[in-house]
A and B are shown apart, each in its own frame.
Chain A
């Protein structure tokens, strides 16, 4: 199991302080505090509707909190005002979605090279070479000419991961990336993420895969009702939770 204290020496790459967000009368995030250290892997677990995905969307500026601070590296995300500033931030942050969201009119290779060539200005040849390396890394080297609609869910999700990595992000956010997959394809996606964590990529995952979260994460955050109820090492959260709500959630999954 990874040791969380070896990472505490690194400065936090992502810092959330007292983040609040409401949609109308629905108070989705209530005073969220969260740190993700450089090279760390943090998993957010908790019941549906507890604000997990909303936290990820606040980090890459898809949503702006009503109050509180969100800082990524040196960037105060909560106070970004212009589209250009948000774009500069998003270039540094990979985002992988539950529904993959590949571009259906482009081949796998085109999906991976589109953002690097159009947004970063990488030369086509370089981008394609890198894309092929990434596709090999997610074990889809032979699928570069296929269209997303021709791939299984697990394959599409691995392309989505390659597409995110092609931007050389400092951080990758995973939003329930295996929730839409068949049980037999979940493993292939998880093993790609496991490899990423081992390579030292900073990862923040929202997941329902408890065993996987326990295995790869340096830290687990349990959220419920828009609050962080408890956070700690996987060992603490899964085997010795202090909060009764965490305890109830973990136990309900066990049985």
Chain B
């Protein structure tokens, strides 16, 4: 049952001309709240995997090995020079079909529209993260690298213990930017019917005269999500601060 304040809220909204009646419909309310949950989950999953992609691609970009660096560069250019929406369409309508054919029919295809959106957003924003991290890795002073080499660190250990920890610190404000952008891009999932908050709202407003009302809610949901990501970003930035560095 809806809490007692819900009818009161709907009534109050009605008095200023806003129709939030769908909140009193248990089915529509549940569908909409589920959309919010899906948006949050989509954002968190994609943020985590985009960071992993970004680190791997940044490592390849700065590896100094052409057979790694060149494909990584091509990947970055492909990802950032084509629209995210087109990438999602391409993934869901083209790649998904190819996967279905390979595994013997859509029935056996484990990849859903939801999975494709996570994959595309992770790769797309992973490319942006990779560029930010590459800049961070290149900002590690050469002398610092030399001292790690002199201690006997291998390339991998150097990257893991010295270069990436420093690169993440240098690149963190850019990474936070990318993550905020990623949260907003989850709304593109609606294009392939992933039931995140934009799509859930769309499904409700096509049945009722409440586009403006849902728009307001959708804006609020994204605003809260992006503010949360920005706030987390600032918190992490503070945690990662190196006391006395650069002073």
Q: A residues engaging B (CB < 8 A)?
A: 60, 62, 83-84, 87-88, 90-91, 93, 95, 97, 99, 101-105, 114-115, 118-119, 146-151, 160, 163-164, 167
Interface 0/1 of B130-143, CB less than 8 Å to A = 00000000000101
Kindly provide the distance from the CB of A126 to the nearest chain B CB, expressed in whole angstroms: 18
Residue B165 at the A interface, CB < 8 A? yes
A166–B84 alpha-carbon span in the complex (Å): 51
Kindly provide the distance from the CB of B63 to the nearest chain A CB, expressed in whole angstroms: 13
User: Which residues of chain B are near A114, meaning CB under 8 Å?
Assistant: 151, 161
A to B CB contacts below 8 Å, 5 in the list:
A93-B150, A101-B146, A104-B242, A114-B151, A115-B151
The answer, among B147, B154, B240, B244, for a CB contact under 8 Å with A150, is B244
Given contacts A101-B146, A104-B166, A119-B157, contact A163 B151 (CB under 8 A): yes
The answer, among B141, B154, B166, for a CB contact under 8 Å with A87, is B154
Given contacts A87-B154, A105-B166, A119-B153, contact A97 B147 (CB under 8 A): yes
User: Which residues of chain B are near A103, meaning CB under 8 Å?
Assistant: 144, 148, 161-162, 166
Residue B169 at the A interface, CB < 8 A? yes
CB of A149 within 8 A of CB of B243, answer yes
Kindly provide the distance from the CB of A226 to the nearest chain B CB, expressed in whole angstroms: 21
Query: How large, as a class, is the contact surface on chain B?
Result: 20 to 34
The answer, among A60, A62, A118, for a CB contact under 8 Å with B157, is A118
Given contacts A147-B245, A150-B244, contact A115 B152 (CB under 8 A): yes
Residue B81 at the A interface, CB < 8 A? no
CB of B244 within 8 A of CB of A90, answer no
CB of A105 within 8 A of CB of B149, answer no
A247–B11 alpha-carbon span in the complex (Å): 99
Given contacts A105-B166, A149-B244, contact A118 B153 (CB under 8 A): yes
A106–B150 alpha-carbon span in the complex (Å): 18
Residue of B nearest to A103 (CB): B162
Residue B104 at the A interface, CB < 8 A? no
User: Which residues of chain B are near A104, meaning CB under 8 Å?
Assistant: 166, 242, 245
Kindly provide the distance from the CB of B142 to the nearest chain A CB, expressed in whole angstroms: 10
CB of A95 within 8 A of CB of B147, answer yes
CB of A167 within 8 A of CB of B151, answer yes
A143–B147 alpha-carbon span in the complex (Å): 21
Residue B246 at the A interface, CB < 8 A? yes
Given contacts A104-B166, A119-B157, A163-B151, contact A62 B244 (CB under 8 A): no
Given contacts A101-B144, A104-B166, A104-B242, contact A119 B151 (CB under 8 A): yes
CB of B245 within 8 A of CB of A62, answer no
Kindly provide the distance from the CB of B71 to the nearest chain A CB, expressed in whole angstroms: 22
User: Which residues of chain A are near B242, meaning CB under 8 Å?
Assistant: 104-105, 147, 149
Name the residue in A91, A103, A151 with the highest tally of chain B Cβ atoms < 10 Å from its Cβ: A103
Residue B155 at the A interface, CB < 8 A? yes
The answer, among A101, A115, A119, A148, for a CB contact under 8 Å with B143, is A101
CB of B165 within 8 A of CB of A105, answer yes
CB of B143 within 8 A of CB of A99, answer yes
User: Which residues of chain B are near A95, meaning CB under 8 Å?
Assistant: 147, 150-151
A163–B153 alpha-carbon span in the complex (Å): 13
Given contacts A99-B143, A104-B166, A118-B157, contact A149 B245 (CB under 8 A): yes
Given contacts A62-B146, A101-B146, A167-B151, contact A148 B169 (CB under 8 A): no
A90–B166 alpha-carbon span in the complex (Å): 23
Residue B15 at the A interface, CB < 8 A? no
Residue of B nearest to A88 (CB): B152
The answer, among A97, A118, A148, for a CB contact under 8 Å with B146, is A97
Residue of A nearest to B240 (CB): A105
